[in-house]
Amino acid sequence: MINKGLTVRGAQMHGQRYIPMLLERLASGELRTAHLATHTVPLDQAPKAYDLFKHKTDGCVRTVIRP
């Protein structure tokens, strides 16, 4: 990193304190998340899910792989 002049930066957020509020909003329907995962596939189709996500085909935003 020194020879290439790279800078590494990081950040930390204590997300645990937001979980109760987020769960409450999810339960009330105020917070909608359906649009976050556009594809759900079983575990045996994981390579297909990865390919969809990598190439952003078929309108893929994020894939969920079910066990």
- Asked, for residue 7, whether it belongs to a domain, the answer is no
Question: What integer is the mean pLDDT of 50-56?
Answer: 91
Domain tally for the chain? 1
Asked, for residue 6, whether it belongs to a domain, the answer is no
| 5 belongs to a structural domain | no
Coil, strand, or helix at residue 8? coil
Domain membership of residue 65 (yes or no) is: yes
- 3 occurs within a structural domain: no
pLDDT digits (tens, 9 = 90+) for 35-52: 889 999 999 999 999 999
**pTM greater than the 0.75 cutoff:** no
18 to 11, 22, 28: CA distances (angstroms) = 17, 6, 16
Domain range enclosing 42:
34-67
Q: What is the mean pLDDT of the chain?
A: 89
